[in-house]
Every structure is written in structure tokens, then in C-alpha cells.
Structure 1
């Protein structure tokens, strides 16, 4: 399969993965906050509710890792949700309340003051504007698409292709009512802060930006070109993913995001999932050497499939059980 065809088949998968489960809330939060201003300055973040709508049925999946003196809960999150989506089941609430330490992908996803300089450093390239990389026809398409995020092709000129593509992928989700403020992490972070729990992160803001900023230039450009054709498909795919996640259907999550990314975009699959899952499994094993109870919430795609965090831990002899 050619690079063009592979990326064409995986643009919506990547958008779904980045915005929904895989690459991280920080980028989505920043893009949703001020896309039309090309991240020139941060807008104040609205308050986050420390509660979530009631859940029906079993709710999203939850796992636990234990040894003689440690209990670590693993919860797959969705970074952006509609405010009406319920996920805080009794078992999730009980696990969260029992923990003294809360772990996320990053500890400060809503810190736009820290994010904006990184976006400017890794997402802008004024010396090679988009008009020098795209055809006149593609620039016209970009101008039409840019209007959906309150911008124009001229305003996006200094941005690198990966950042423009991701911005256009996020825009339909926000328009459809998805909101990082309603996502799992920010609600749990607010609850943790109110309860005085310790908050930790597996990665840094710079780590998350670097995942996409270091993609080869030809891959970034193809991602942008295909996004211009297909960016409005992300809503339908994320709707399906959220429906499966909310009822704890992990095999469906694997089919919807993990298998597609693994097949259609193996380079991205390795960068966004395998490498990070391996690193997080290392950190979890380090936590097991200590004691106490922790609650770990990371993107749901990281907890599905043969290369999931749980699978890596099990391959190392660490017992992981589902919480029923």
C-alpha cells in the first residue's frame, strides 16, 4: 500500500485516535481553545465540573493491578466528550475515592500558559509557509476548511502541516458538542484537587507535542491533504467509539481504533501506542515497588489490544484483573 493510500485510509482513524483516545488531551485542549488565533495567546479556561452524568449499566471498563502492598487501578478515558455522556460508574467512583495518588498521561493538560510556547516552538514554521507547500487548489480548499474554525488560509500560513491538520480534525468534534472540558481527565483532576489527592503524569506537554511535530514532512503534508478531504468524518467515528467505551465494550474499541491504526498507519501506531504503552508499563512496575493505592486514567486505546498496557504487564508476569 502506498503512503498516500495508507494515510487516506487512516486520516479519520488518526483524528479519532488523537482527539479521542491516543495522542493526548493537551493538544486537543489547546486547539479547541484558540485555533483561529494560531495559538498566539491562550484563552482563559472555563471552570470544570467535578461531577459527571449518571451512568447506566456497567459503564466503562476498569482493571486492577495488585501485589502485597500496592493496588493500582487502570481506567481507559476519552479525552473529549459531550456533557451528557455518563461514565462515572459506582465501581469507578469507589476505585477513585480509595486512591491517594492519581495518574494521568500528563499532570497539567489544561495549562495553556505552558502549552502555547510549545505550540509556537513546534507547530509554527513561518520560514516555510503553507502557500509554498500546497497547490493553489489546495490552498483554496484550506481556506474553505479554515472557516469552520473561524480562521482563513492566510491566518494558518505560518503553521506546520501537522498542526493545521489536527486543528481541522478537532473542529467538527467541537461543533458537534464534544468538549475537552467534559472529558474524563479534567473532571477527575478537579475531583482530585478538591480532595487533596496527589496528581502525577507519565509524560510532559513537550512529549505529547513531539509525537506529531517530529513526523516526517511528507507524512505531515499528506495528513493535511487527506484531512482537507475527510475532516468531517471524525464525528461519526468518535460517536461509535464513545458508545462502545461507555458500555465497556473493549473488543469494539480494539476494532474501531487499535486494529485500524495498526493496519493502516503502522508508523503512527508504534509512536502513539506501542512505544508509550511500553514506557507506561515500566513506570507502573516502578510504582508496584512502592506501596499504597493509585488510580490511573489514560486514553482508552492504550488499554485495548495485544499491545495494551495490560498485555505488556501480563507478558512480564504482572497480574492484571478486570474489576466487575
Structure 2
């Protein structure tokens, strides 16, 4: 599955005047919210963001993120992540991966100057996250993503903050990816590494101009090849978020809700779900 894990991490270029972008106004009568797709990590050259993001921010009284970003930066959460990231029962990567896949992983780690032996007690998902993070740094993807950017801005402007799920829920999803199918998970992830840079560039272009074509393609591949992951990180989370988003639409406060861009698109995406419920959904231009 191409770019699944790059998209999950970012899951997350220049634009002309009058171009569409990844911000939507969702309304019911006179009540409204703004719903935006985020890329979680960006290059410095991706700033400034399209002006529609600031339009939505300026009109809102409350900014809602996927999770509590302040708590995400709490040192205690690092300890929680560490405990969830470890392979249970004192097993190691060599115990959960075949010899062939382990050697392939070891070779790819070596290219990134990562001694795999130092990660031997970590789940494959966390090794892949570590590798992807280093690869992204090498590509210059070091700037705050949309979430962090507006989190800082919201605090500066003293806007109310909210979140859709707990940090612990996010960590459970991240650390359980690929469980029971570790060899395939690692193989697909390593294939992604080879064309991560071109995937990143293409994805940011699509995100910036509000196009859904590439994301729908990736979501379809994820659903077909990893139905369990698709269900847990897309379908279940979107279903859990919908009652909260509907509550935002129907209150008197204007909220600016920011979620990973992939969550917006496809038949199980938030935009489709909101349209099916009769809400008016308009893409800002």
C-alpha cells in the first residue's frame, strides 16, 4: 500500500487566488463551523498557509483539535508512549518478524544511521515511526504542521481550546498498527520509504488546493489492503467524532475544527457523513 504510513504521519506549494483549499464551512440554518484538513508536519516553504485557514480561525471563538496538544507535550505522556510501544512478554523484533523481513529492516535502518539493535524491544510500528521521522527531517520536513501552528495562535489570541479524543486513545492506535500482520506491515512501510519525498510533495499539493483525488485513492488502497487499520484509524474515529462535530454545529459558538486531511474524504469521510445528515457543506475559495 503506497504512502499509507507517510500519510498517517502527515495524516496530515503554491496556490493561486480563487483556488480551492482544504477548509469547509458546515452549516445548519444560521449555525456554522469551519472544518479544516491538516497536514501534521510541513516544510518551512509551505508557509504561509492558504488565507482561508486564517479566515476560518478569525471567525471562530473556539479551536478544536484531534487531541489535547498541551498534554501531548507533557513529559509524562512520553512514559505512557514508551510503555505502550514495547513488545510484550520480553520478546524482541526478531521474535515477531521473519528473518528475511528483519534483515531487510536492518538494511534500511542502516541507510538512515539507525542501529536497529537499539530498537529491538520496540513494536514494528514504532520502529517505522522512528525511521519515517528521520527520513522526513532529511527532507526538510521540520516545521510545525497546521495543528501546532493554530494551537500556538489560539493560545496567543486566548481562544477556547477543545479536542475530539484523548491522547491515550491516539497512542493506542499508533502503537497497535500492524499487530498480527507484522511482516506485511514492515514490507509495505519500507516500500513507502523509497518514494516518500515525491509522495509528500504530491500530497501537500493536493491538500493545499483542496483536491480529494489522491487522498481517496490512498484511502481505497488502505481499505482494500489493511481493512482493520482503515476501520480503526478512519471509520471508528470518524464515527466517534461525528456527535461532537454535530454538537458544535448546533451550538451558538463558531468552532474551527482541525483534523488530519484524510479524515475528510471518501465515503466514510466526515464531509460525506455531514452531507448525508443534511448539513450544508461548502468548500472555501
Specify if TM > 0.5.
yes
> Measured at CA, do residues 139 and 263 of structure 1 come closer, stay the same or move farther in structure 2, by a change above 3 Å?
closer
Report 1:16-27 matches (<5 A).
16-21=6-11
Residues 165 and 223 in structure 1, CA contact (< 8 A), matched pair in contact too: no
Matched, 1:275 2:236: yes
CA–CA distance in 2 between the matches of 1:177 and 1:212? Answer: 23
Residues 105 and 186 in structure 2, CA contact (< 8 A), matched pair in contact too: no
CA–CA distance in 2 between the matches of 1:285 and 1:293? Answer: 12
Residues 59 and 88 in structure 1, CA contact (< 8 A), matched pair in contact too: no
Give the secondary structure class of the aligned counterpart of 2:54. Answer: helix
Report 1:158-177 matches (<5 A).
158-177=121-140
CA–CA distance in 2 between the matches of 1:133 and 1:290? Answer: 49
- RMSD of equivalent CA atoms: 2.4
Match of 1:298 among 259, 265, 270: 259
Query: How many aligned positions are there?
Result: 282
Give the secondary structure class of the aligned counterpart of 2:32. Answer: strand
Q: How big is each residue's C-alpha offset from its partner over 1:165-221, in whole Å with a ceiling of 9 and x where there is no partner?
A: 232233322211112x33111111111111001111111111112114334633234
Q: Which residue of 1 aligns with 2:203?
A: 241
> Measured at CA, do residues 88 and 218 of structure 1 come closer, stay the same or move farther in structure 2, by a change above 3 Å?
same
**Where in structure 1 are there 5+ consecutive unaligned residues?**
1-9, 23-52
Q: Which residue of 2 aligns with 1:31?
A: none
> Measured at CA, do residues 59 and 217 of structure 1 come closer, stay the same or move farther in structure 2, by a change above 3 Å?
same
CA–CA distance in 2 between the matches of 1:253 and 1:132? Answer: 35
**In terms of mean alpha carbon deviation, does 97-106 or 208-217 score higher?**
208-217
Residues 21 and 52 in structure 2, CA contact (< 8 A), matched pair in contact too: no
Match of 1:122 among 74, 84, 103: 84
**Where in structure 2 are there 5+ consecutive unaligned residues?**
none
Give the secondary structure class of the aligned counterpart of 1:64. Answer: strand
Matched, 1:318 2:276: no
Q: Which residue of 1 aligns with 2:179?
A: 217
Q: How big is each residue's C-alpha offset from its partner over 1:40-87, in whole Å with a ceiling of 9 and x where there is no partner?
A: xxxxxxxxxxxxx98543252221122345320011111111110146
Matched, 1:265 2:230: no
CA shift for structure 1 position 260: 2.2
Q: Which residue of 2 aligns with 1:105?
A: 66
TM-score where L is the length of structure 2 = 0.88
CA–CA distance in 1 between the matches of 2:213 and 2:274? Answer: 19
CA–CA distance in 1 between the matches of 2:281 and 2:30? Answer: 15
Matched, 1:154 2:117: yes
Report 1:31-180 matches (<5 A).
56-57=16-17, 58=19, 60-68=21-29, 70-86=31-47, 88-108=49-69, 110-125=72-87, 127-179=90-142
Give the secondary structure class of the aligned counterpart of 1:217. Answer: coil
Match of 2:269 among 308, 311, 318: 308
